[in-house]
């Protein structure tokens, strides 16, 4: 068997560590092999690690900027505003029903109920669309408040209807 020549063995070992040593071996113009020091390898690894960390930090900052611009581009859902305004209008009618003796009490009660139903419908539609497209719309709190006012209006109408039935019997 032919044993590998020591010159080739050193060549392949040096080829693993650094290309400059391999070039020196190819030309046969070396006096003794220059092995890469561990400090040099560690410094290269630290530089690469710092570079990777800076890339991660830059990617994180880009994500934060994208989220910020998405929030800036969000629009309050118009149906949420409509539902809230209908609920507030119904509440105003309720206050006028409770504190002032209005001659048109039946008309105002029906108007209050219709406004409450519309507030509930518009607010639930807005909340549904906000949940489907969270990056496009905001106004979840307005929609929830409109729904709350709508539910309270319907509950008050049911209470008033039951109370009027019990008084008439």
Residue 40 has pLDDT above 60, yes or no: yes
How many angstroms separate the CA atoms of 21 and 29, rounded?
11
The pTM of this model reads 0.56
pLDDT category at 168 given cuts 50, 70, 90 is low
Read off the pLDDT of each residue in 117-128 and give the average, rounded to a whole number. 95
Read off the pLDDT of each residue in 86-108 and give the average, rounded to a whole number. 80
> And the tokens for 36?
């890469």
The pLDDT value given to residue 30:
47
How many angstroms separate the CA atoms of 162 and 54, rounded?
69
Percent of the chain at pLDDT exceeding 90: 28
Buried b (16+ CB within 10 A) or exposed e, 10-32: ebeebeeeeeebeebbeeeeeee
Residue 38 has pLDDT above 70, yes or no: yes
Tell me the per-residue pLDDT of 48-96, one tens digit each, with 9 for 90 and over.
777 777 777 777 877 777 776 666 678 889 999 999 999 999 888 888 8
Read off the pLDDT of each residue in 127-139 and give the average, rounded to a whole number. 88
pLDDT category at 45 given cuts 50, 70, 90 is confident
How many angstroms separate the CA atoms of 62 and 149, rounded?
41
Place of tokens 């109920």: 113
Residue 5 has pLDDT above 90, yes or no: no
Mean pLDDT taken over the chain: 77
Tell me the per-residue pLDDT of 12-36, one tens digit each, with 9 for 90 and over.
555 555 555 444 444 444 444 455 5
Per 3-state DSSP, the chain is made up of helix, strand and coil in percentages (nearest 5) of 80, 0, 15
Compare 169 and 94 and report the one with higher pLDDT: 94
Helix, coil or strand: residue 34:
coil
Percent of the chain at pLDDT exceeding 70: 70
How many angstroms separate the CA atoms of 158 and 136, rounded?
37
The pLDDT value given to residue 52:
76
């Amino acid at each position: 068997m032919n044993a590998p020549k020591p010159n080739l063995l050193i060549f392949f070992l040096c080829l693993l560590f650094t290309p400059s040593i391999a070039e020196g071996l190819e030309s046969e113009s070396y006096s003794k092999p220059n092995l890469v020091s561990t400090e040099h390898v560690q410094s290269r690894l630290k530089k690469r690690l710092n570079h990777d960390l800076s890339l991660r930090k830059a990617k994180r900052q880009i994500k934060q900027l994208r989220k910020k611009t998405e929030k800036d581009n969000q629009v309050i859902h118009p149906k949420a505003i409509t539902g809230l305004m209908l609920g507030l209008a119904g509440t105003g009618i309720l206050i006028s029903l409770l504190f002032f003796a209005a001659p048109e009490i039946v008309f105002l009660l029906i108007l209050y109920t219709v406004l409450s139903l519309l507030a509930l419908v518009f607010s639930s539609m807005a909340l549904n669309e906000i949940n489907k497209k969270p990056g496009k719309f905001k106004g979840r709190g307005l929609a929830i408040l409109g729904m709350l006012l709508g539910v309270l209006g319907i509950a008050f109408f049911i209470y008033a209807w039951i109370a009027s039935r019990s008084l008439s019997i």
